[in-house]
């Protein structure tokens, strides 16, 4: 988060006029059906550039300029609002938030004693009018003075009940948006209907809410953020709503059966200082990647009604509230090409090559496309303008094409007919295409991975040696390594007695590696070092792992209903390789963990739960950052993570509200700063070593 937001630089009067028109066109499209030639970040930069130019050239300001106007001057609809629906002013960092709060308190002539901090939802602002508890009208924000009647959508929006708990006449305000699941479902329906998809959840919500005659219905969700009595209402409830703190108003709204963010990780919270508000901002920002709905900032407002009344309004925004904008996680850029790569398990994965775009603080050139079916569902074409999404540590992904920006020059994405790695046939029986040779296609990569330091740690087994053994037919997979004889190795070119004996000794040591490393060496999709440790600790033996069905596999922490069947299927596919490992006397148990019997697998696999009792890190999510020192200095990061899990904890790579403990060495950087802002307990490597000394 920066206190100096970038702007679009406008050079002269002609460029200024063009910028104003572009902003008006983008705003009109955005508030009409959710489409726009500009993403949110580009639009904000453009408007800030217009504002900067107007400050320096007051004599050139155009009357149609979007600055100082609700919805950027895009007039949509003719239903007057009972009370104007205004925009919010923005701040872009902690210093600007402090300046805004200080200015507000100077205006009030007193300190603000309570602030409400809540997410700024990225949806379509709606006024929902109720009479005697029954929903009678829905109106969009429009230009803030009047909006469009979209009452035909009544009954299709979750979280906005047809009837309230009380028979009251009231106006609720909130955002209509699509959750991640609702957006995927809407895209599937549109794809089936006309072969296109929505650009993003907001445009999908806006378009779906306004459409009256679409042959399919797209589910949406309402999140309330306020309640207003009718201006002429002098009832006891109306008086209460005008006098209650905002937090109490929202509690009343939720009690009426209306959805709010109260049951989410970013629920509104009342704090007493700006410093506490900033801390809550950081907490909400950290939770952003895991939310089921989009937010583009955090709203900080006076909680007390008296403060709001005394602060008043400007022409476009309340003076008692401000939006703390977060870095954009979504941008529009061009899909230049698609690369096809075969992974070490034989899966053929497409990767989007993009025109470079700055997204969430980094330059993005590549993004995930998942698989061929996903490309088809999204209707992507080369040359498309596409929405690219990124949040937190998540790999960027292509969300959808921006269909209304197509020029006619777009062309279909070439789909490979043979494996791009070996040229053999492709198994297309599942959504994730695979080379028919499976792991054999990238055998060198698969064996190198298994022999790596964090798996079997077979010292001296270089890639060129693996290739040599594959070419001579000594091995076909990494299990065959344990059957190679001294005579066979000596028969290889440039293999002397010393190097042969060293490799055989390394292979003997590899046989004694614990189950978690052996399992990791298998390279099962969806598992890595941490997950392999959890699986090994949960089941205790390879036999128990292989006997587990999908339901039993879901008992492992971190394995859900989607991943469990994949793991089970992969293990069945690897049966031959595992059998060879067993026959070679490779270790198939996890030290110190009792084997989970078949009876316990069918029940709750309680062995893992019992094994965690009394451990110092039980139930804790631990993040390690910076350079380790003291007893941890000689350990690799994976070895430290293994130590965490031996002590009963769960190793994580990113700091969030779920983090219990941060182990911070020298040069800890941003993770330490985030942990401090979230109030997470921080220890030095030496302190942590003392805490888990029994497991070192």
**Could you list the active site residues?**
120
165 close to 258: Cβ distance less than 8 angstroms: no
Contacting residues for 109 by C-beta, under 8 A, at least 6 apart = none
Q: 145 is written with which tokens?
A: 């003075």
Give the three-class secondary structure for 667: coil
Give the three-class secondary structure for 316: coil
Q: CA geometry: angle at 498 spanning 493 and 503, to 5°?
A: 80
On the CB side of 173, CA atoms within 13 Å amount to 19
Helices (H), 8-153: 13-33, 40-56, 94-108
Contacting residues for 186 by C-beta, under 8 A, at least 6 apart = 178, 198, 204, 208, 218, 219
CB atoms within 10 A of CB 128: 24
Contacting residues for 309 by C-beta, under 8 A, at least 6 apart = none
CB atoms within 10 A of CB 564: 20
Task: Determine the distance from the C-alpha atom of residue 185 to the mean position of all C-alpha atoms in its chain, rounded to a whole number.
Answer: 18
CB atoms within 10 A of CB 425: 12
Q: How far apart are CA 221 and CA 203, in angstroms?
A: 14
108 close to 320: Cβ distance less than 8 angstroms: no
Q: How far apart are CA 350 and CA 30, in angstroms?
A: 31
Burial class (CB in 10 A: 0-12, 13-18, 19+), 249: buried
Helix (H) / strand (E) element for 322: namely strand 321-325
Contacting residues for 112 by C-beta, under 8 A, at least 6 apart = 101, 104, 105, 302, 304, 307
CB atoms within 10 A of CB 18: 11
Handedness of CA 538, 542, 543, 547 (dihedral sign): positive
Q: How far apart are CA 482 and CA 511, in angstroms?
A: 8
Burial class (CB in 10 A: 0-12, 13-18, 19+), 123: buried
Contacting residues for 148 by C-beta, under 8 A, at least 6 apart = 76, 77, 78, 79, 139, 140, 142, 210
Q: How far apart are CA 151 and CA 247, in angstroms?
A: 28
Q: 357 is written with which tokens?
A: 């775009």
Helices (H), 431-481: 443-451, 463-471
259 close to 267: Cβ distance less than 8 angstroms: no
Question: Tokens 């989970």 appear where?
Answer: 596
């Amino acid at each position: 988060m920066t206190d100096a937001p970038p702007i679009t630089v406008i050079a002269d009067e002609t460029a200024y006029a063009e910028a104003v028109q572009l902003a008006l066109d983008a705003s009109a499209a955005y508030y009409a059906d959710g489409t726009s030639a500009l993403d949110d970040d580009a639009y904000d930069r453009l408007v800030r550039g217009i504002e900067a130019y107007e400050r320096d050239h007051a004599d050139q300001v155009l009357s149609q300029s979007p600055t100082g106007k609700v919805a950027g001057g895009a007039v949509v609809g003719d239903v007057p609002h009972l009370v104007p629906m205004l925009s919010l002013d923005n701040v872009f960092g902690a210093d600007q938030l402090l300046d805004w709060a200080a200015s507000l308190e100077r205006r009030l002539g007193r300190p603000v004693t309570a602030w409400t901090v809540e997410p700024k939802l990225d949806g379509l602002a709606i006024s929902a009018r109720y009479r005697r508890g029954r929903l009678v009208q829905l109106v969009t924000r429009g230009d803030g003075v009047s909006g469009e009647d979209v009452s035909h959508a009544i009954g299709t929006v979750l979280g906005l009940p047809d009837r309230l708990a009380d028979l009251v006449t009231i106006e609720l305000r909130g955002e209509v948006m699509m959750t991640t699941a609702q957006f995927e479902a809407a895209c599937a329906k549109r794809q089936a209907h006309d072969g296109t998809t929505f650009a993003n959840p907001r445009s999908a919500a806006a378009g779906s809410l306004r459409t009256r005659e679409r042959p399919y219905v797209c589910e949406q969700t309402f999140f309330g953020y306020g309640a207003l009595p009718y201006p002429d209402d002098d009832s006891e409830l109306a008086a209460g709503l005008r006098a209650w703190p905002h937090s109490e108003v929202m509690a009343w709204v939720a009690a009426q059966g209306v959805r709010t963010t109260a049951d989410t990780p970013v629920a509104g919270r009342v704090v007493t200082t700006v410093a506490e508000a900033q801390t809550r901002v950081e907490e909400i920002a950290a939770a952003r990647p895991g939310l089921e709905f989009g937010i583009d900032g955090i709203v900080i407002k006076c909680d007390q009604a008296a403060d709001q009344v005394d602060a008043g309004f400007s022409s476009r925004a309340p003076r008692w509230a401000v939006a703390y904008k977060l870095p954009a996680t979504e941008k529009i850029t061009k899909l230049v090409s698609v690369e096809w790569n075969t992974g070490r398990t034989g899966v053929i994965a497409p990767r989007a090559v993009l025109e470079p775009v700055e997204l969430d603080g980094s330059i993005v050139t590549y993004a995930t496309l998942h698989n061929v079916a996903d490309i088809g569902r999204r209707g992507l074409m080369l040359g498309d303008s596409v929405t690219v999404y990124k949040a937190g540590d998540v790999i960027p992904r292509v969300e959808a094409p921006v269909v209304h920006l197509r020029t006619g020059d777009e062309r279909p994405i070439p789909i490979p007919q043979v494996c791009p790695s070996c040229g053999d046939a492709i198994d297309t029986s599942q959504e994730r295409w695979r080379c028919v040779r499976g792991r054999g296609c990238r055998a060198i990569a698969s064996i190198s991975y298994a022999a790596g330091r964090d798996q079997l740690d077979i010292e001296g087994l270089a890639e060129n040696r693996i290739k040599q053994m594959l070419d001579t037919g000594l091995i076909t997979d990494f299990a065959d390594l344990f059957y190679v004889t001294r005579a066979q190795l000596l028969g290889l070119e440039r293999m002397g007695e010393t190097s042969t004996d060293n490799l055989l000794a390394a292979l003997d040591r590899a046989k004694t590696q614990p189950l978690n490393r052996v399992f990791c060496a298998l390279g099962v999709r969806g598992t890595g070092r941490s997950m392999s440790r959890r699986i090994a600790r949960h089941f205790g033996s390879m036999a128990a792992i292989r006997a587990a069905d999908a339901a039993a596999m879901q008992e492992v922490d971190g394995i859900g209903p989607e991943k469990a069947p994949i793991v089970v299927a992969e293990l069945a596919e690897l049966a031959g390789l595992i059998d060879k490992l067993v026959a070679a006397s490779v270790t198939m148990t996890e030290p110190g963990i009792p084997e989970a019997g078949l009876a316990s697998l069918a029940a709750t696999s309680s062995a893992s739960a019992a094994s965690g009792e009394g451990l110092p890190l039980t139930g804790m999510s631990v993040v390690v950052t910076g350079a380790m020192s003291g007893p941890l200095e000689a350990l690799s990061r994976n070895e430290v993570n293994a130590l965490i899990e031996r002590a009963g904890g769960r190793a994580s790579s990113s700091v969030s509200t779920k983090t219990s403990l941060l182990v911070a060495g020298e040069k800890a950087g941003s993770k330490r700063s985030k942990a401090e802002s979230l109030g997470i307990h921080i220890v030095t490597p030496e302190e942590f070593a003392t805490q888990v000394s029994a497991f070192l």
